[in-house]
Structure 1
């Protein structure tokens, strides 16, 4: 894959534009190891091809910033509005999600030219102060577009892992690194007093609409494990018949387990008496000391019940994280694998909570198509907290909520235990 040349450099400095430059470059770095054939892979409806991610994140800036607020702007190709819209009904018609992998045209060069076209138009419009939006609103939208692209950076590599897992060669996306040597540590527990706490974004810096309004929640005293559940602990659950013990499972979870014949986390297999897993660094033996990853909410809930504990609520998780520094293994580390040892609250794996993704008291989505970003997904999904080894660190803050359906496993999903005091 080649990069476009001759890009216009930004003529107007601002925090939003600096973030724009960093995020757009990071996306290209993630795509750099891929062949043109890799760029078109789509392995299931939940996933999208890398090429589509590169184009859709570009469409976002075009649809919500350039088209409505830059007089005289001319699209690179009017048809891209249909091809690269995801789920924004108010933005117009969309290409069928499950058929994104059939889009052999436009090719990779055209998508890269499209990215360059949008970037040049945005920077040129800023240099002339030509946008009709007030500057603070414009910068807010650029920042939102950057955080939207960061979400797609994580999706790009996890979608790619799922697609590569169907290749008998089990190719490595990045150069394999020596596995860190670290023994499994005992789980420690933090005891928290609970009481009346505030959760939700405090208004300082960027946040998605679903992170507010900030509000009060009453918590009973509770305990929170100081590390995620490990592969070694998960193997003990498996060996004790956890996948075959129906009373441990929610009814719907048991039905999903039976339908899909689950007996281990996604990407695991047994070979010569050893558990192996497929990762973005290729295949390798399962490290007992590393956090378990690629497990569904149903599996996480069953494990917690087997362990005699439970999953934390998102309010419990946020209250515990409110004063903790955001340190962990994020996308920028380049490993794209959870670390063994004793990771903290942040990074390595997303952690399932027992909280449904629902609106906070007083939540109102923004008007227009941009209001479709989160609000219409507030049903039948569960919240996860903490970020993963594929999450950009700039996405992280105590109030950040990501969400997935309880059966999904292809993301970097793990768990941390909680207990009543």
Structure 2
């Protein structure tokens, strides 16, 4: 049903089921401002003759991303928030509005050996964002030097005009390749993949920044109906619990990653070998095998309700309030609400959603249950075995603008289900692995964060574009004590 609706560029707002006949349901639909197509429908074209969803992106994929980006930046950020910093460890929203076109501008300039789209000074201001250490904000990788005063930043109109000129240059590039005026090389295809997926990652970054001002400045997503929370909460309360406490997996040998080394692009035998190739980021390669011992793992991530009990009880002096929550007053027994892009919702509504908080907090929770956070291979094995994809109902690609209760571990489909639409922490440190070859197109993309501070994160959130959410080799990463991104966790247990 979801796929029928998606193919018609619609979305389901709510489903009303018959109280007397489980086979009958009324789906209330809307035509939203944007939808993402199914990856299996990626059309074959001269630029992607095999129709691989991880090959050369089509121009329409960029345009889908631009529609979401413009909806957020022009429809959800009022002028009063352009120069605000909802999260001190990140730039202001105006920076990100200039950063995405600048990233595209710089990568096109490097490949085409042309002068960058004007104004050239924007390439300095908007080149690279920040990720300072949480416990030492003075320590940060190389990044752009931005103006200190609001009045010294470019005006919004200048940034939007620049955005449009950069996009026009990309559209001309696609036309040149289509007409045969410019050869399609693997290096060019990879450059465009990086730009598209960089845009996708930053859609989430901007949203998890903005959600800190939900209800206090940020506007809800225009063109999407406000969810009928009360009705949805009643449905979610009735979601069946897993049939067993956890899944047992392993021992086994697991293949991780894929063979997509960027230096190979420049070898004569691979220069034009684009068709059928799956592209990714430098930390996804090369393919490697690891041994995974037997372990138990919870079917579903830790929920807001689970963590609330811990926060008020055993974890009272061990963990702080997750930034994804809001206390309704300063009193110790205050009611807790959960942040959503439509404004905060009562805990009773979001009780079954996965909790979003720092790795360190979830380590403490797992320990209180006699468990731990799974390693990257363990979580990869679980997701490959039980997590459904976008076409099977996973909550990604803005089918919803909020998390959902997880559904894995049920009686149907051998326990397969959704994790609710969040990334998931692993206990694996983000670090060098054998055979790693860093990117020269985006130097330091991974290696700058081999700093013993970042954990590997897997999966996808409700705001992850399907191309990133579906590719099982994708490895995200965040600092262990950074609590703002949309990352939850499940608990693993030694057998």
Q: Does the C-alpha gap of structure 1 residues 177 and 51 become closer, same or farther in structure 2, counting only changes over 3 Å? A: same
Q: How far off is 1:110 after superposition?
A: 1.4
Partner of 1:216: 289
Runs of 4+ in 1 over 6 A off after TM superposition: 130-133
Q: How far off is 1:297 after superposition?
A: 0.9
Partner of 2:327: 269
1:49 aligns with 2:92: yes
Kept in 1: contact 2:257–2:287 (CA 8 A)? yes
Taking the aligned partners of 2:69 and 2:194, their CA distance within structure 1 comes to 16
Partner of 2:8: none
SS at match of 1:48: coil
Q: Does the C-alpha gap of structure 1 residues 230 and 347 become closer, same or farther in structure 2, counting only changes over 3 Å? A: closer
Kept in 2: contact 1:225–1:416 (CA 8 A)? yes
After superposition, the CA RMSD in angstroms is 2.9
Q: How far off is 1:73 after superposition?
A: 4.2
More displaced, 196-205 or 380-389? 196-205
Partner of 2:364: 302
Taking the aligned partners of 1:275 and 1:93, their CA distance within structure 2 comes to 37
Partner of 1:278: 339
- CA deviation vs aligned residue, 1:28-78 (integer Å, no higher than 9, x gap): 12223132333333233422333322221111111111x233365452101
Kept in 2: contact 1:190–1:225 (CA 8 A)? yes
Kept in 2: contact 1:346–1:387 (CA 8 A)? no
Partner of 1:409: 483
Ranges in structure 2 where 5+ consecutive residues have no aligned partner: 1-45, 49-55, 131-141, 261-276, 409-416
Q: How far off is 1:170 after superposition?
A: 6.1
Taking the aligned partners of 1:306 and 1:233, their CA distance within structure 2 comes to 12
Q: How far off is 1:325 after superposition?
A: 3.5
1:198 aligns with 2:232: no
SS at match of 1:291: coil
Ranges in structure 1 where 5+ consecutive residues have no aligned partner: 1-11, 246-256
1:141 aligns with 2:199: no
TM-score (norm 1): 0.82
More displaced, 102-111 or 146-155? 102-111
Q: Does the C-alpha gap of structure 1 residues 242 and 273 become closer, same or farther in structure 2, counting only changes over 3 Å? A: same
Partner of 2:201: 151
Of 398, 408, 414, the match for 2:472? 398
Taking the aligned partners of 2:307 and 2:172, their CA distance within structure 1 comes to 53
Q: Does the C-alpha gap of structure 1 residues 144 and 278 become closer, same or farther in structure 2, counting only changes over 3 Å? A: same
Kept in 2: contact 1:231–1:292 (CA 8 A)? yes
Partner of 1:120: 168
Kept in 2: contact 1:201–1:211 (CA 8 A)? yes
More displaced, 264-273 or 45-54? 264-273
Partner of 2:272: none
Alignment of 1:19-418 (within 5 A): 19-34=61-76, 35-65=78-108, 67-70=109-112, 73-86=115-128, 94-96=144-146, 102=150, 105-129=153-177, 134-162=184-212, 164=213, 169=216, 172-174=219-221, 176-179=226-229, 180=232, 181=234, 182-183=236-237, 185-187=240-242, 188-201=245-258, 205-244=278-317, 262-264=320-322, 266-270=324-328, 274-287=335-348, 289-323=351-385, 324-327=387-390, 328-335=394-401, 337-340=402-405, 342=407, 344=417, 346=419, 348-367=421-440, 370-379=442-451, 380-396=453-469, 397-418=471-492
TM-score (norm 2): 0.70
Kept in 1: contact 2:405–2:420 (CA 8 A)? no
SS at match of 1:276: strand
Q: How far off is 1:100 after superposition?
A: 7.3
Taking the aligned partners of 1:103 and 1:420, their CA distance within structure 2 comes to 56
- CA deviation vs aligned residue, 1:233-267 (integer Å, no higher than 9, x gap): 1122123231325xxxxxxxxxxx5xxxx245543
SS at match of 2:208: helix
Q: How far off is 1:316 after superposition?
A: 0.6
SS at match of 2:75: coil
Q: Does the C-alpha gap of structure 1 residues 292 and 219 become closer, same or farther in structure 2, counting only changes over 3 Å? A: same
Q: How far off is 1:393 after superposition?
A: 2.1
Q: How far off is 1:134 after superposition?
A: 4.8
Q: How far off is 1:414 after superposition?
A: 1.2
Taking the aligned partners of 1:151 and 1:210, their CA distance within structure 2 comes to 15
